Every structure is written in structure tokens, then in C-alpha cells.
Amino acid sequence: MFCADKELCDRVVELCQQLIRVDTTNPPGNERLAAELVATELGAAGLEPVVLESAPGRANVVARLTGSGEAPPLLLAAHLDVVPADPSRWRHGPFSGDIADGCLWGRGAVDMKNMAAMCLGLVCRLARERVRLERDVIFAAVADEEAGCRYGSSWLCDEHPDLVRAQYAIGESGGFNIFLGAKRFFTIQVAEKGFCWVRARVRGEPGHGSMPREDSAVVKLAEAVAKLARRGLPPHQTEVVQDFIEAVAEAQSVPVGLLVRAVGASGALPGLLRLVPDKTLARPVAAMLANTACATVVRAGEKTNVIPGVAEMEIDGRTLPGQTDADLLRELGAVLGPGFELEVMRSAPPVEASPWRTPLYERMAQAVLRREPDAAVVPYLLPAFTDAKSFARLGTRWYGFAPLKLPRGMRFADLYHGDDERVPLDGLRWGTEVLAEVVAGFAAAGS
Ligand SMILES: [Zn+2]
């Protein structure tokens, strides 16, 4: 049975370092150089990668390890672009790829050049060793995830669906661990929220700025923004979140477990979470319990001495699995009150691997637990969106599982899009071993 050795883990560290050193900040993206690096490595291993440009400089790479076809394909997916970084706020340059303090530093170290490097190193080794597979393993390294996937996975799935169609996919963003109390939990993302971006407009009497009025469009909008932030939208139970709460409860001592269970069942959790002082923990959990709506752009007025007749805001709305745009608009309307015109600017439905307890899920959980018997594995709902949205359109069941072990005191939420993004070398090697075990075990013939 194939497993990751030191040579593979070392190569993954080098590949991750090389990828970090290629600046793929999006916008503008410019993934071409990174895509060529990936394609060169794949070619050297005897694979025949295809580099596909959706627009000048916006390149995607796809390669396929061909199996016997006894089972349907498995897709490994990673995006090559990264979000912007302000170098003045970093201890090591965001494109330095420095190795210091046991970590590899740089933008993309955890989102998600680590995963790109792990998939790349692994696929190349499986090819070199001619491991017999019962299913094809496809690797897609894509552009433009950080700006909405248009030039990456979305384009790829529209224009070249046959290259990337698979039964299952493994991509971002789970696989890392979080600490809750004394316990460690490794996440497997089995669902992600939809998004529904809304423009909300309100009107009022225009007038002269010398004579203030409390019913102006600006005042109505300001009150609505505050109300939305304070009140939020009502909670809904979803299967994945119930299972998450169950798993967390199970791993805690009995009284805590009972409490978490009782709270989870009664729907009082959102209110309680507001009291949790650690907001980096409370916010993502709160986002798993309800549709959310966040005012992000507000617009009104052009002249200091004129009360404008109209004011508007753009709202970043997110929908839970099982919820629709119409549900979100109804809930939003109830909070904002009458007088607001709501218009959907752009939306995409939630994605859910349903049912998610599949042989692949069990393999991922086992690969983690075999190495970390004191930890627990939990299904996870991502409040944001990823390339899963595109691949799910092809009928692919998506798991966010980019395995990464973090030491206590280093939190994924702080690293993700944060300053000083870095990946612990031990954690990256650990992830390589886990991913190799999962992929080889799931795809190799006779396993
Ligand atoms: Zn990402």
C-alpha cells in the first residue's frame, strides 16, 4: 500500500515554497506562472497536463492519472490565486517563502498553496510509482477562486466539464484542527453556504441640510444597518450543524455535553454565542446557525447641504443548506421593515454532500484518528464559498479536506487571509501523509 515517505514530504515543502514565491495576488490573479510550474512538475512525472487559459494570464491546469475505470473518478482541487497582502504588516515577506520558527511563511501557506503542493506532490509520486488505480484521480489547479471563480473553476466546469467531472472531490477548506476547551477537533467540510447579494434601497423626503428631518432616507438606512447587525436573522436547524454540535458534545464531559445538546436543540445557541468572549470562535459557529446578512456597502447623498431622497446599501447575504434566496429576502424584509426595495444582485445556492457519511468521509476520519487518537473529527459547514460551488454543478460530491495539523495557539481563522500567514512544517508533512493515505487508499486497486 502506498504511503507518504520523507522524500514526498520534503518535495511538498519545496513545491509549496516555490508556489508561494509566485505572486498570484487576485486581483489581478496572473496565475499563468504558477500554472506552468505545476504543469512542469506534472510533465516531469510522465503525466500530460493541460493548461487552459480562460483569459490572458488566467491559467488553469488539469491532469489525470488513469485508473482501470472500475470506480468513478476522484478529483483533487486547489486554487492557485491568493488574496492581497500588505508587506509592511508581515514579519517575513508575503512572497518570501521563508522558512523560520518551524514554519513556511507566505501568502497562500494555508489558503491554499499548501493543498496545491500536497496534491501535486502526491499525484506525481503515484504516477512515477505506477500505482495501479481502480478510479481515475484528476488534479485541477485553478485560477480566480478568491474573486468569485469566474476565470477558474466556474469557467472550467462550463467549458471543459468532461476534464473535471468526478464522483467525489477533495478541496478546501476543512481538514485543519480547532481547539475547544481541552479537546482538539479536526474538521471535514461537508457543506457550504450559498450566497445572495442584495441591494436594499429606501426613499425619503429630500430637503435642505439646514433643516434636519428624522424620516430622511439616510436616517432610515442608518437605523436599518444597526438593526440588522444587532438582531441578525432567525436560526434554522440543519443536519450537518446538528451533527457538528452532537460530535462536540460527545467529546466534552457529560454536563457540558448535555448543555450543548440542550442548547443546540432549543435554538438558544445564537443568543448564547453573543456572550462568548472569543469572537474568532463564536462568529463562525454563529454563522452556521442562521442565514446571515451583513451590510457592506452604503451609499447616499452627494452634497453636504442636501438631504438626499434615496439611500441604499449592499448586503452580503448567506444562505444555509435547505434555504433559498426567497427565504433570505423574506427574513431580511422582516428585519428591515416596510419601505425597503430589495433586489438580488447575484446569488448561488448552498452546496451539501448529502448524505455525507460516505466511504470517503470514513477514510478521511480514520486517517486523522489513526494519527491523533485523542482528537475528534467533526463535519463542518463553511459559511463562505469555494470552488465547490462550480464542481457541485457537475454532480460532484465535495469535501473540504486540506489536512493540516496546527499547534495550540495557532488558529486557522487568524492565518486565513491574515497577516503572517504561515504553515507549520510539521503540520504540512502530517497533512501530506494523511492526504496520501486517503487518496491512495480510496483510489488504489484492491484497497
Ligand atoms: Zn481558498
Task: Report CA(146)–ligand 1 centroid distance (Å).
Answer: 7
Task: Report CA(144)–ligand 1 centroid distance (Å).
Answer: 10
State the cell numbers at 51.
Answer: 493548461
The pLDDT of residue 222 is 97
Task: Report CA(215)–ligand 1 centroid distance (Å).
Answer: 43
The pLDDT of residue 245 is 84
The pLDDT of residue 119 is 98
Query: Residue 244: pLDDT above 90?
Result: no
Task: Report CA(364)–ligand 1 centroid distance (Å).
Answer: 20
Task: Report CA(385)–ligand 1 centroid distance (Å).
Answer: 9
CA separation for the pair 410, 424 (Å, rounded)? 9
Helices (H) and strands (E) in the chain, counts: 15, 19
The pLDDT of residue 155 is 98
Task: Report CA(201)–ligand 1 centroid distance (Å).
Answer: 32
Task: Report CA(139)–ligand 1 centroid distance (Å).
Answer: 16
From 146-155, 185-194, 258-267, 360-369, the region with the lowest mean pLDDT: 258-267
Residues with CB under 5 A from ligand 1 (ion): 111-112, 172
The pLDDT of residue 250 is 80
Q: Highest mean pLDDT range out of 335-339, 340-344, 355-359, 410-414?
A: 340-344
Task: Report CA(158)–ligand 1 centroid distance (Å).
Answer: 20
H or E stretch including 44? helix 32-44
Second CATH level (architecture) for the domain 202-347: 2-Layer Sandwich (3.30)
- Write out the residue limits of the CATH 3.40.630.10 domain(s) in the chain: 6-181+351-443
Task: Report CA(112)–ligand 1 centroid distance (Å).
Answer: 5
- At a CB cut-off of 8 Å and minimum separation 6, what does 98 contact? 92, 104, 105, 106
Contact between 363 and 356 under an 8 Å Cβ cutoff? The reply is: no
Peptide bond preceding 27: is omega within 30 degrees of 0, i.e. cis? yes
Residue range 342-366: average pLDDT?
94
Task: Report CA(171)–ligand 1 centroid distance (Å).
Answer: 9
The dihedral region occupied by 2, where left means phi > 0, alpha psi between -120 and 50, and beta the remainder, is beta
The pLDDT of residue 56 is 97
Query: Residue 347: pLDDT above 80?
Result: yes
Residue range 262-273: average pLDDT?
69
CA separation for the pair 311, 317 (Å, rounded)? 19
Task: Report CA(273)–ligand 1 centroid distance (Å).
Answer: 26
- At a CB cut-off of 8 Å and minimum separation 6, what does 80 contact? 19, 24, 31, 34, 35, 38, 113, 116, 141, 142, 143
Residue range 11-34: average pLDDT?
98
- Name the band, by pLDDT with cuts 50, 70 and 90, for residue 182: confident
- Report the residue count for the chain: 447
pLDDT tens-digit series, residues 158-176 = 999 999 999 999 999 899 9
Q: What is the DSSP letter of 238?
A: -
Query: Residue 186: pLDDT above 90?
Result: yes
CA separation for the pair 106, 99 (Å, rounded)? 9
pLDDT tens-digit series, residues 44-57 = 999 999 999 999 99
Task: Report CA(79)–ligand 1 centroid distance (Å).
Answer: 7
Task: Report CA(207)–ligand 1 centroid distance (Å).
Answer: 47
* Helix 217-231 / helix 325-336 crossing angle, nearest 10 deg: 120
Query: Residue 66: pLDDT above 80?
Result: yes
The pLDDT of residue 189 is 96
Query: Residue 260: pLDDT above 70?
Result: no
The pLDDT of residue 107 is 98
CA separation for the pair 300, 311 (Å, rounded)? 5
- Write out the residue limits of the CATH 3.30.70 domain(s) in the chain: 202-347
pLDDT tens-digit series, residues 77-104 = 999 999 999 999 999 999 999 999 999 9
Task: Report CA(26)–ligand 1 centroid distance (Å).
Answer: 12
Task: Report CA(157)–ligand 1 centroid distance (Å).
Answer: 18
Q: Can you give the pTM of this predicted structure?
A: 0.92
Residue range 118-126: average pLDDT?
98
Residue 349, helix vs strand vs coil: coil
- Name the band, by pLDDT with cuts 50, 70 and 90, for residue 124: very high
Could you tell me whether strands 103-105 and 168-171 are parallel, antiparallel, or unpaired per DSSP bridges?
unpaired
Residue range 282-299: average pLDDT?
92
HSE value, Cβ hemisphere, 13 Å, CA-based, for 440 = 21
Task: Report CA(85)–ligand 1 centroid distance (Å).
Answer: 14
Contact between 155 and 147 under an 8 Å Cβ cutoff? The reply is: no
Beta strands in 4-111 (DSSP E): 50-55, 58-65, 74-79, 99-100, 103-105
Task: Report CA(369)–ligand 1 centroid distance (Å).
Answer: 25
As a whole-number percent, the residues of the chain with pLDDT over 70 amount to 96
The pLDDT of residue 284 is 81
CA separation for the pair 95, 87 (Å, rounded)? 9
The pLDDT of residue 283 is 82
CA separation for the pair 423, 221 (Å, rounded)? 42
Query: Residue 266: pLDDT above 70?
Result: no
- At a CB cut-off of 8 Å and minimum separation 6, what does 81 contact? 24, 25, 26, 29, 31, 143, 144, 145, 146, 147, 152
Mean residue pLDDT across the chain: 94
Residue range 387-399: average pLDDT?
96
Indicate the CATH number for domain 6-181+351-443: 3.40.630.10
Phi, psi of 445 (to 5 degrees): -65, 140
Task: Report CA(428)–ligand 1 centroid distance (Å).
Answer: 16
pLDDT tens-digit series, residues 145-160 = 999 999 999 999 999 9
Q: What is the DSSP letter of 31?
A: T
279 or 130, which is more confident?
A: 130
The pLDDT of residue 286 is 86
Task: Report CA(199)–ligand 1 centroid distance (Å).
Answer: 26
Query: Residue 240: pLDDT above 70?
Result: yes
